[in-house]
Amino acid sequence: MEDKEEFLKEFGDYYGYPNGPKTIDEIRATEFKRLEDTVYLDHAGATLYSELQMESIFKDLTTSVYGNPHSQSDSSSATSNIVREARQQVLDYCNASPKDYKCIFTSGATAALKLIGENFPWSCQSTFMYTMENHNSVLGIREYALNQGAAAFAVDIKEAVDQDGASINSVTSVKLSQYPVQRRNEAEVLEGELTGDAYNLFAFPSECNFSGLRFSLDLVNNVKQNTEKILEGSPYSKGRWMVIIDAAKGFATKPPNLSLYPADFVVISFYKLFGYPTGLGALIIKNDAAKLLKKTYFSGGTVSASIADIDFVRRRESVEENFEDGSISFLSIASICHGFKIFNNLTPAAMHRHTMSIVMFLKKKLLALRHENGASVCTLYGNHTLKVSSSDSGSIVSFNVKRPDGSWFGYREVEKLASLSGIQLRTGCFCNPGACAKYLGLSHSDLLSNLEAGHVCWDDKDVINGKPTGAVRVSFGYMSTYEDAKKFIDFIRSSFVSMPSEFEKGYLLRANSVPYPTEGFENRLSSSGCYLKSITIYPIKSCAGFSVKSWPLSTTGLQYDREWLLKSLTGEILTQKKVPEMSLINTFINLNQKMLSVESPRCEGKLQIKLDSDSYLCGKEEFYLHSQRYEVQCYENEINQWFSNAVGQPCTLVRCCHSQYYLSLNKNRSMGMCRDVDSRMNFANEAQFLLISEESVSDLNDRLCSNTQKLSGGAPLYVKPMRFRPNLVISGGEPYAEDGWRNLKIGNTYFTSLGGCNRCQMINFYHQTGQVKKTNEPLATLASYRRVKGKILFGILLRYDPVNGPGLDAHSWLKVGEEVYPNSE
């Protein structure tokens, strides 16, 4: 409470709508009850709809009859009226007179930008200029410009600032720093031949969706009236300049005043304003600009008349009707009126003050965080002005997190741990490659080498060659609270400021040690007091396995283990992460009968597949998975239909008959934490075997029990070893002793340890009354003490070691009860 009192002492005049119809606490209690256990911090990606807003929409749609507006009926007239009202609300929100502007509804801001790019009057003398901080949807316009022979280049905005760091808004204060010019058809025009007759286009965002930096709207008038001056005499400054404002981010709390800053085009998406509807945006277009767009296609609703068998069409004169192809999304358009009602009650200015008070608080706290050695924890990107009244910052805080030694925590590690703590945020480059490269200091060679290393958007490669490839972004909406920011700060402090655990220090020491020799392995083995407690085989990837007393070994691990998998009709591999119900499919293999049996609660009969019969097969195919080429056998429709019923979607069953690596990933022989590339595998994710210790599970359960009683006082959570889908469970010895094992012998079979198994959300799935449910545990507790370099480790990965062992033959079996002899030197 003292922290909040301190916050209100500084920001109380701005926070929580003190003069509004409802306080922020009332808004959250009555309109966002679903956020009770969730901290939602991705409002820049998609803000949240109010529950009262949706009730109003539902009441409207269930008590009104809205017909297709391309008609003259009463229901169609009602729709036309509501659409006309919605257009006016959009124009009113940015102070645009209908005499000067029109509102064209699109499927989103991206579609609005595409419409401009497709229809703009490009020529070989045109120029497309854009700020480095722009969304990919804006950069895509460059393709239209370059294909028509126009020039394109990026710019940085340089504005003079006063002593307090605020921008000085005047024509002379703005300079554009130009990047190299791009052209595809250079022969058509030389720089010296550029004239003033061409139409040029300049695009900038009202707010950068990477950093939250707000651009001065004076850019509109500066570019339209003084391009030669701000481009310092560049030959590309000639011609008539038109301006796009990408207001998808920033329109809610700082809509552009188009009576003062008469941009030619403004694009928005409504789900970023008030959460619903999705799939609806708008292009606010100046009437003069609309006349210049050269639209080719026509459709229903856009023509006054057309004749089918001759080249004749007369288009409608209305700007909106000319550009809105087909029937507009009129029910979604009717919904935005209820969103604007909320905004008009709260007012954009009050929403801006409210969100900025939270942003300033969060920035101050993150900048103040220090490790024990005094090193900064967070590196923030963008404007660091810490004033609520500042017009240079929006509702975004973008940053990365550093370790005490200056190395980076990966942003995906932050995102995964945040999710376990009930915090939803965004990481990556946010479809803004220019801002990402600029703020992270990534050169062209960095970006290309990252791509060659396999990094693409939305993957897990968050640090390459010691540099982050993206950032962590938190963003706030009108319903965000102090408590949201406070929980996030507490999460960063508890997860990233504390020093490494003894487990992490020891694990990294072993992982970075000198590669171990294989000679003399037998002499270094010692009795551990451990024995093999259980053996489990999982014939079909991600389906349930079965336990046995003994089982034969093969060159791929336990015989038949993960030899089959299910694929969707689009080729996607099905796993429990996306289809949790796969865990309800039970499997069993009878070695004597050479039969695979499969059962599912969704299927009446048991499916039986003979292991050595070709009668079920219908050909072979190849595909790649985990950098490995697989040759697989496909099954007939009857079997595929059974599995489709079992998982609730069309799929096919395939069986591995050959696998081969085409890319080597881990040449270092030291203890690693990545996929085994030196041994044959079926469809296992990382290694031939996964070993779990009963003592380690018992220690985890003690921690789970303690955490549950501390947090809720409820019944303690208990997990069994099989929750982790191990092949081998051992009993005896000390908890986590397996972490230090380099190699081991079980019975007469030798294994090499590949290091810890990186755990994911799959271990949080559990069964209850025949249903698959999910919690945050045990992964959240494991993350608190088993985290190493972004990985949460539990259990060890093994591969069969043919160097020290006698080699596989018909008598190579593992048996429950066999003693375990490890080597930890």
pLDDT in tens, 240-297: 999 999 999 999 889 999 999 999 999 999 999 999 999 999 999 999 999 999 999 9
* HSE-CB of 490 using CA atoms within 13 angstroms: 11
User: Where is the domain boundary, 499, 515, 545?
Assistant: 499
Check if the beta carbon of residue 816 is closer than 8 Å to that of residue 694: no
At 810 the pLDDT is 58
In a domain, 507, yes or no: no
- The answer on pLDDT for 535 being more than 80 is yes
In a domain, 133, yes or no: yes
Question: DSSP H helical segments within 396-501, as ranges?
Answer: 411-420, 433-440, 444-452, 482-492
Q: Tell me how many domains the chain contains.
A: 2
The token pair at 356 is: 């900025």
At 578 the pLDDT is 87
Looking at per-residue pLDDT, the higher value among 712 and 620 belongs to 620
Residue 290, class by beta-carbon neighbours within 10 Å (0-12 exposed, 13-18 middle, 19+ buried)?
buried
User: Where is the domain boundary, 458, 475, 499?
Assistant: 499
Q: Are residues 538 and 459 in the same domain?
A: no
Residue 192 backbone phi and psi in degrees, to 5 = -70, -15
- The answer on pLDDT for 109 being more than 60 is yes
Alpha-carbon distances of 158 from 154, 247, 468, 771, rounded to whole Å: 13, 21, 26, 59
Q: Are residues 156 and 228 in the same domain?
A: yes
pLDDT in tens, 437-478: 999 999 999 999 998 888 888 788 899 999 999 999 999 999
Q: What is the CATH number of the domain that holds 148?
A: 3.90.1150.10
In a domain, 306, yes or no: no
User: Where is the domain boundary, 445, 475, 499?
Assistant: 499
The token pair at 289 is: 């600009």
Choice among 236-245, 650-659, 734-743 with the minimum mean pLDDT: 650-659
In a domain, 222, yes or no: yes
> Going by DSSP bridges, is the β-strand pair 743-746/819-823 parallel, antiparallel, or unpaired?
antiparallel
Task: Give the model's confidence band at 670: pLDDT under 50 very low, under 70 low, under 90 confident, else very high.
Answer: very low
At 668 the pLDDT is 39
At 188 the pLDDT is 54
At 667 the pLDDT is 37
In a domain, 345, yes or no: no
At 793 the pLDDT is 95
Percent of the chain past pLDDT 90, that is, above it, reads 70
Report, as an integer, the average pLDDT of 42-69.
Answer: 96
Q: Are residues 463 and 595 in the same domain?
A: no
Q: Strand (E) positions, 60-210?
A: 101-106, 127-131, 151-159, 174-178, 199-205
pLDDT in tens, 233-244: 788 888 899 999
At 664 the pLDDT is 37
The token pair at 380 is: 């923030």
At 387 the pLDDT is 64
In a domain, 649, yes or no: yes
Q: Are residues 104 and 238 in the same domain?
A: yes
The token pair at 803 is: 């160097």
Contacts 24+ apart (CB under 8 A), 764-772: 765/576, 765/580, 765/583, 766/723, 767/583, 767/584, 770/584, 770/601, 772/580, 772/581, 772/583, 772/584
pLDDT in tens, 675-695: 555 668 889 888 999 999 999
pLDDT in tens, 552-585: 999 899 999 999 999 999 989 999 988 988 999 9
Task: Give the model's confidence band at 163: pLDDT under 50 very low, under 70 low, under 90 confident, else very high.
Answer: very low
The token pair at 79 is: 């729709």
* Angle in degrees, CA 231, 235, 238, rounded to 5: 80
Q: Are residues 424 and 281 in the same domain?
A: yes
- The answer on pLDDT for 673 being more than 80 is no
At 454 the pLDDT is 84
Q: What is the largest CA-CA distance in the chain?
A: 93
- The answer on pLDDT for 389 being more than 60 is no
Looking at per-residue pLDDT, the higher value among 226 and 558 belongs to 558
Domain that holds residue 494: 1-44+99-160+174-181+197-286+351-499
Q: Are residues 387 and 495 in the same domain?
A: yes
- The answer on pLDDT for 663 being more than 80 is no
Q: Are residues 804 and 698 in the same domain?
A: yes
pLDDT in tens, 620-650: 887 777 667 888 889 989 999 999 999 999 9
Report, as an integer, the average pLDDT of 335-341.
Answer: 95
pTM: 0.85
At 359 the pLDDT is 96
Report, as an integer, the average pLDDT of 589-609.
Answer: 94
pLDDT in tens, 754-793: 999 999 888 998 887 778 888 889 999 999 899 988 889 9
At 742 the pLDDT is 93
Q: Are residues 452 and 591 in the same domain?
A: no
Q: Which of 94, 431, 530, 543 is catalytic?
A: 431
Place of tokens 């050269």: 294
In a domain, 526, yes or no: no
Residue 47, class by beta-carbon neighbours within 10 Å (0-12 exposed, 13-18 middle, 19+ buried)?
buried
Q: Are residues 410 and 557 in the same domain?
A: no
> Going by DSSP bridges, is the β-strand pair 813-815/728-731 parallel, antiparallel, or unpaired?
unpaired
Distance CA 473, CA 411 (A): 9
Q: Are residues 462 and 575 in the same domain?
A: no
φ/ψ region of 264 (left if φ > 0, alpha if ψ in -120 to 50, else beta) reads alpha
Q: Which of 232, 241, 221 is nearest to 126 (CA)?
A: 241
- The answer on pLDDT for 814 being more than 80 is yes
At 659 the pLDDT is 58
Q: What is the CATH number of the domain that holds 649?
A: 2.40.33.20
Alpha-carbon distances of 461 from 404, 411, 455, 674, 760, rounded to whole Å: 21, 9, 6, 13, 16
Helix count and strand count (H, E) for the chain: 22, 39
pLDDT in tens, 166-216: 454 555 567 888 999 999 876 455 544 555 689 999 999 999 999 999 999
At 510 the pLDDT is 52
In a domain, 669, yes or no: no
Distance CA 98, CA 91 (A): 7
Distance CA 729, CA 697 (A): 10
Q: Are residues 561 and 443 in the same domain?
A: no
Q: Are residues 654 and 712 in the same domain?
A: yes
Q: Mind spelling out the 3-state secondary structure of 252-321?
A: CCCCCCCCCCCCCEEEEECHHHHCCCCCCEEEEEEHHHHHHCCCCCCCCCCEEEEECCCCEEEECCCHHH
Contacts 24+ apart (CB under 8 A), 1-5: 3/486, 4/482, 4/486
Q: What is the mean pLDDT of the chain?
A: 88
Task: Give the model's confidence band at 665: pLDDT under 50 very low, under 70 low, under 90 confident, else very high.
Answer: very low
431 flagged as catalytic: yes
